Structure 1
Amino acid sequence: MKPILGITMGDPSGNGPEISVKALMKPETYEVCRPLIVGDAKCMEAAIPTVKGAESMKINVIHDVKEAKFEPGIIDVYDLDVVDLSKRLYKKDRKKLAEIMLADVLDAAYKESMTMCGEAAFQYVKKVIELAMAGEVDATVTNALNKDHINMAGHHYSGHTEIYADYTHTAKYSMMLAHDELRVIHVSTHVSLRQACDLCKKERVLDVIRIANEGCKALGIKEPKIGVAGLNPHCGENGMFGREEIEEIQPAIDEALAEGINIPEKAPTPPDTVFSKALGGWYDIVVVMYHDQGHIPLKVKGFVYNKELKKWDAVAGVNVTLGLPIIRASVDHGTGEGHAGDGSANELSLVNAMDYAIRMANAKKEKEVEA
C-alpha cells in the first residue's frame, strides 16, 4: 500500500498553495504515494490558474481521509475553511494598494490578513498532526509558514519543530536537514548564538547523537556513520579557543561509542572540514552544534541562483524532525512572500520532502512487518 501523505498548505499568503499544485500535477507522484493537502480548498482553487499547465487540475473537497480519491489530475484537499480570500493580501498587493489607500487603513488590513493567515497555517499543522497521531495518514509534510504571522495569531512558537514537539508530547527531538546524501542534525536551532553556546551540553549532544543514529536507520541506513562537529574553531585547539569540546562534546561521544554507535573519528571534527568529509562519504549524518552551522552548508549545496537569468534554478533541501512518534518532513525554505501568487515558486524542495516522507513511511512499514 502506497503511504498516505498529509501535506499542509502552508501560509495562505505564501508560496505553499502554488508549490503544492506544481508537485501534485506530476502523475508520477501518485505512483509512489497517496497525497492530500490539509488547508483551504478555495486557496488551492485560486492557485491553479497561476501555475502553467495546471488548468485541467480539479479540487476534491474532503472532510474525512476516506473521501480522498488519490487520482492524478485531482488534488484532494482536507478543507478547514478558515481563510476569507477577500481579506487575504499578498505582499505584492500591498505595493499596489499603497497608491489608492490611506496608510493606516492599509496597515490595518494587512495586519488582519497576516493574523488570519498565521491562524490558518497553525490550524493546518495542528490538524495534520492529529491525523498522523490517529493513524489516518502515514506521514506528514509541511509547506512553509511565517513565524511572525503565527505569533500574531497568538500561537507563540518559533517554528514547525516546536509545534510538533508540543502536540506530540515529545521531549527529545531534533531538526535534521538533508540534500542528496548530505545530512545534518542540530543540537540547538532557533536561539541566539550566545544561548546556543550555553546549550552545548553533554546530555543534549548525546541525545542528538542517539536521535541521529535512529533517524538514519529510519531511512533504511542499517549501520549509520556519524560525524560530530566541534563548536569552536579547530575544536578549541586543546582548550585555547574554548573548552566545550573537552568538557561536553567528547564525553558525549565516548558514551555513544560505548553504546555501539559508530562515530568513525571517535572525537569531534573541526567544523571547517566536517562537511567536506561528509560529502566525501565519511559520514551518513553530521551532528552540528547550532542553527547556522548546519543550515549554511545545506543551503550552499541545495540553493542555486542563476545570476544571468536572475532566478533560482534550484531551491532544494528537506527539513525532517527526528525523535517524534510520527513522520514529519518539510520544505527547507520560507514562504517566498515577495513572489507568492505569481506562479514562479520552485516546487523542488517540496518534492524532496515528499520523497523523504515516503522513504521513512516505507521503512517504518517494513520494520513493522519484520517485527
Structure 2
Amino acid sequence: MIFRFLFFINFFFSNFAIANSDFVEGVTKTEIFFGQSAALTGPAKSLGLNMQKGILSAFVEVNNNGGVNGRKLRLKSLDDHYEPETAIKNIYHLIDKEKVFSLIGGVGTPTSKAIVPIIKKSKKLYIGPLTGASFLRSSHVNTVVNIRSSYFQEIKEMVLRLKNDLKIKRIAIFYQNDSYGIDGLNALEKSVKEINKGLKIVSRGSYLRNTMAIKTALLNIKKAKPDAIIIIGTYSPAAHFIKWSEKLKIKSKLFLSVSFVGVSELAKKLKNSKSLVFVTQVVPFPYNKKGRLLKNYHRAMKKIKSSNKIGFVSLEGYIVGRIVIEALKRAGKKLTNKSFKKVFKSKKSNFNIDGLRLSYTKKNNQGSNKVFLTRIFKGRVLPLKNLKAFYKKIK
C-alpha cells in the first residue's frame, strides 16, 4: 500500500515537472506579454505616451498579420509619473503579479537606474529604454538592450558643431539635478576635455526634476555670459528656461538639447520664441514618408488612430517594437528567456529594420550610434546637416 502511494506521488510530481518545464512567464500558446513603466501623466507625460503609442503601433501591425510564431503581442503599461519610487513599485507588480515575459520602453534615466537591478535579478530583459545614460551601456550589458545612441554621443556632436561650425568656446549647462542631468553634465565635461581647443564650461545651473524651479540657475548662468547654453532636461522646464532667458535678455540666444527633451512638445511651447534652438536626435526625421521605415511607421500609427502622435519619440517606440518582433521570430516557437537573450548575443545579432541597421555583440548592447540634428523654428521641427548656416546670425 505504501509502495503504491509512493509510486503515485513520484509519478504525479514527475509529470508535473515535465508539464511545467515548458512554462515561461508571460508566454502562452497564443500570447506574449510585455510590461512598461513610463510617465503617462505629469510634466513628462508626452514622452511616455508617445513611447507607448509607438510600441503599440508595431505590436498591432504584427498582430493583424497573425502575430509572431502564432502568438499575439500584448503590452501592459503602468504610470510612474517619471518618479523612481513609483517605477520600482510598477516593476515589482509587472514581474511578480502580471508575470510579464520582458520589460520594454521605459522612460528616463532616474527611473531606469532604480528598476534595472530588479529586472536583472528577475533574469528578464529590459529593451529599448528612452534614455542615453552611460550606466545602461557599461554596467548592465546582459540585462539591457539599447536601441539609441548615448547622451555622450549626442552631446559630443553638439560640442563639435559649436566649435567647428559656429566657432563658439564659452558654454553653459542647465541640467536636471538627478542621474539624467548629471550624466549629461559628465558627458559635456568629457566632450570639452576630448575636443579641447579653448572650449570652456563657464557656468553650471540645475533644477529639481518635475519642477519649474529655474530662477537661481538662470541668474547664475546669466552672470557668466555664455555664448551657448546646453539644456539637459524635459520639455516643460526647458521651454520655461528659454522664455525667461529672453525676458531677462541673457547674452546667449543659442540653446541646445538632447533627444530626451521631447522636441515636438518643446517646439509647441516655443512657437513665438526668437531664440536659436537646436536638438540632437537618435532616430531619423519622422515627419515625412521617405523610405520603407517611415512609410510603415506612418501606416502603423494610422492603424491605431494615432497619426497626431507622429514624432521622434513614437518613432523610437515603433523601432523598439519592431526590434522585439524580429528578436522573437529569431528566438523561435519554443520561446524562453534564454533563447530570447541569445538573439542579441550571437554572431548574427545584426538587425535591418526597413533599412535602419542595428547590431549587438556580447560586449556591446547599443544597437545604433547615429546622431541627427534638428532645429526648432516657429513651432516647427526642421532637419539640419550642420550649424554653419547660423554662423552670421550669432556674430
Same fold (TM over 0.5): no
Scaled by the length of structure 1, what TM-score is found?
A: 0.29
Q: Report the structure number with the largest CA radius of gyration.
A: 2
Scaled by the length of structure 2, what TM-score is found?
A: 0.28
